[in-house]
Amino acid sequence: PRFSWSLPKRLDPIGGFLSGLLGGVLGNQGAVRSAYLLNYSLSKEAFVATATVIACLIDATRIPIYLLSYYNEIATAWPYLIATILSAFLGTLIGKWLLDIVTLGAFRRVVAGSVVIVGIAMAMALI
């Protein structure tokens, strides 16, 4: 028998709240968001697109605050910013390639396993 587990959909508002809270306090709301997105029968592409849109909306509110609060530090770190942006583009290309070759079942297992690993790391105060 296959193991199947999902969070009750009535808890979605709590999941959204926890995701936002963890994002604000710890900066890693992606794990909670992923746990809730796994509840829905989304295709791999819809899962990634939904998570990306949510992350972009959150970052659109965060980045101006960082710029206002840490402008001098950011201005002196421009080589790191360029490297980070280039890494993000490379990661996007690699992720697209992997998304095309992995099955939906494998995708869901990898996401669920990643959520568990992040949860354990957070519980152990590693992240």
Confidence of residue 2 (pLDDT cuts 50, 70, 90): low
- Asked whether residue 111 is domain-assigned, the answer is yes
Please, which pLDDT band fits residue 75 given cuts at 50, 70 and 90? very high
In a domain, 108, yes or no: yes
Identify whether 3 is part of a domain.
no
Sequence-ordered list of residues with C-beta below 8 angstroms from that of 42, at least 6 positions apart, any chain: 50
Residue 28 lies in a domain: yes
Range of the structural domain that residue 45 is part of: 9-123
- pLDDT, residue 126, reads 86
Residue 65 lies in a domain: yes
Supply the pTM of this predicted model.
0.74
The whole-angstrom separation of Cα 94 and Cα 108 is: 18
DSSP 8-state secondary structure symbol assigned to residue 97? H
User: For position 119, what pLDDT does the model report?
Assistant: 84
**43 SS3 class:** coil
Could you give the number of structural domains in the chain?
Answer: 1
In a domain, 4, yes or no: no
Q: Which pLDDT does position 5 carry in this prediction?
A: 66
